Amino acid sequence: MSNEFAPDGSVPLADDKALDIEDLAKRYPTGVEALRGVSLEVGSGEFFGLLGPNGAGKSTLIHCATGLAQPTGGSIRVFGHDAIDDYAEARQAVGLAPQEPNIDWFLTVEETLDFHGGYFGMPRRDRRERTAELLDTFSLTEKRTERTRTLSGGMKRRLILARAMMHRPRLLILDEPTAGVDVELRLELWHYVQRINQEGTTILLTTHYLEEAEQLCDRIAFIAGGQIVAEGSSEELAARFDVHSLEDAYLSLVGRKELSRSHIEMEPAS
Amino acid sequence: MMSTAGTARIRFTTLWRREVNRFTKIKKQTIGAPLLETFLYISVFGAALGSRVGDLHGFDYVVFVIPGLIMMAFSINSFTNNASSILQQKFQGAIQDQLSSPASPLELLLAFSLGGFMRGLVISVLTFVAASLLVDLPVEHLLVLIPGICLVGFFFSQLGVLTGVRAEQFDDVSFMQTFVLQPLIFLGGVFYSASLLPEPFQTLTHFNPVYYMINLVRYGFLGYTEASIALSMLALFAATAAIFAVNLRLFSTGYKLRA
């Protein structure tokens, strides 16, 4: 997988950072502090995993990067563009496949992609070609004239991913893309995102499937209580928590070591 | 590589097309029903009651009522379209696709506003055409009618946007329409001349902003007014500009749109 970090480990230039987050804070009007000083760098071309329990702040961080939430402190830059001050350039570079299906019920499958391309300023001919290409890639061509609300859950998931890719973003954010999808679609998605990552698209993935993160991601960050608590490759994270796998490192993070499969396997049969 | 203005134009027209696409896909509800409603008003108040009322300020009763009905159709449909569209998209989460795009707050606001404006315009024009086939409806002051009715439509489309952004449930939109707009419109003189009301209702009517809107449109069609046209136009322009400024502020800060 491509990674544009310098071989000597030097810090990449601003434009080589797909995401550059410094001391990011988000406090909701209800008083909930969803993010408490998050600092994180995702290099251009990286496949980066963000793991954490429910309510850890993953979706809030993603929403801050895409303009759906407004940070209350710190900064977030996308390929060198400030997500607040240069929001147009920053958002143009990002494609978001959200956790919850948020498709427009009034549109057909084809219109969903076409309108999304228009929202991102793509000319008509480019939209038409790109729509045909993505419908084919995600096996949606036969459904192209159907209203989105009639689609099955798996088809909706495909459409959300196709929509996120429509404007050819340099950074693709996948918020639990394989939650609730069948094995076939999950593997299809893995192959697809691996391919576009190899072609240069940076991927930020949140998932609860740890084997997914382990197999796909170059680097992983653990987030808990609105803070990044550990960061590195899956091997580095396992070593950091003094365990043998990413799953055990995660269980240590959430304080549930007793659930480790290594404990279960070592227990004698009664 | 497209120019910044070129991509902005594509963004805006797509956002606007989405709004028009929505109401044309459910046209029985968004166009058919309001047209039928207006036709029923013309039938009942014009044909059935009108023959008993006779002339009003020198006009057949039905002719006197039609400008108000056209204004009512424009305003209610502009309002309802925008309030419902924004609230529906908030519920579905589909609005996130637009909010996470590079579109500016101004592009988003104008596109949402013009969606409802278009629906109101389509219904008003169809009502005008249908009414013209049934009665002899004059157009005395086109230069007052066009800007006047457009300002009315734009004002109510802005009010719809404001209501949709603030609303948390469909009840909020219904409340605004049923308990605020409809009483103001009905009591603003759509079906009667305020000058014929006894006191204190005549004076009270002058505190109803819709009264001035109806007068503008009626003057445009019939050349008859009970209020100063210049003052009505100025007040309507000021009110529209004020509500537009409020909405632009809401879209810029992300109030109830962005977390």
- In Å, how far is A123's CA from the nearest CA of chain B? 7
CB half-sphere exposure, B61, CA atoms < 13 A: 16
What pLDDT digit, counting tens, does each position of B23-46 carry?
998 888 888 888 888 888 888 877
Query: Domain-by-domain residue ranges, chain A?
Result: 18-93+209-270
Query: Is residue B189 one of the residues assigned to a domain?
Result: yes
> What is the ipTM score, two decimals?
0.88
Whole-prediction pTM:
0.88
pLDDT at residue A265, rounded to an integer: 58
Q: Which of A32, A89, A104, A145 to mutate to test the interface with B (most CBs of B within 10 A)?
A: A104
Query: Is residue B84 one of the residues assigned to a domain?
Result: yes
Contact B254 A70 (CB under 8 A): yes
pLDDT at residue A267, rounded to an integer: 57
Q: What residue of B is the nearest CA neighbor of A88?
A: B102
Q: Which domain holds residue B51?
A: 4-253
- What sign does the dihedral B116-B136-B28-A160 (CA atoms) show? negative
Count of structural domains, chain B: 1
CB half-sphere exposure, B192, CA atoms < 13 A: 13
Tell me the pLDDT of chain A (270 aa) as tens digits.
334 444 444 444 456 899 999 999 999 999 999 999 999 999 999 999 999 988 899 999 999 999 999 999 999 999 999 999 999 999 999 999 998 889 999 999 999 999 999 999 999 999 999 999 999 999 999 999 999 999 998 899 999 999 999 999 999 999 988 887 888 888 888 899 999 999 999 999 998 888 889 889 999 999 999 999 999 998 888 888 888 888 888 888 777 777 787 766 555 555
Query: Is residue B183 one of the residues assigned to a domain?
Result: yes
Contact A120 B15 (CB under 8 A): no
Q: Give pLDDT < 70 ranges for chain B.
A: 1-3
Contact A104 B94 (CB under 8 A): yes
Residue whose tokens read 């070609």: A129
Query: Is residue B64 one of the residues assigned to a domain?
Result: yes
Fold (topology level) of A18-93+209-270? Rossmann fold (3.40.50)
Q: Which of B1, B14, B26, B107 to mutate to test the interface with A (most CBs of A within 10 A)?
A: B14
Q: Spell out the alpha helix ranges (H) of chain B.
A: 4-25, 27, 33-41, 50-53, 61-92, 95-99, 105-134, 142-166, 170-175, 182-186, 201-205, 209-222, 229-253
pLDDT at residue A269, rounded to an integer: 52
Touching check for B6 and chain A: CB below 8 Å?
yes
Contact B17 A63 (CB under 8 A): no
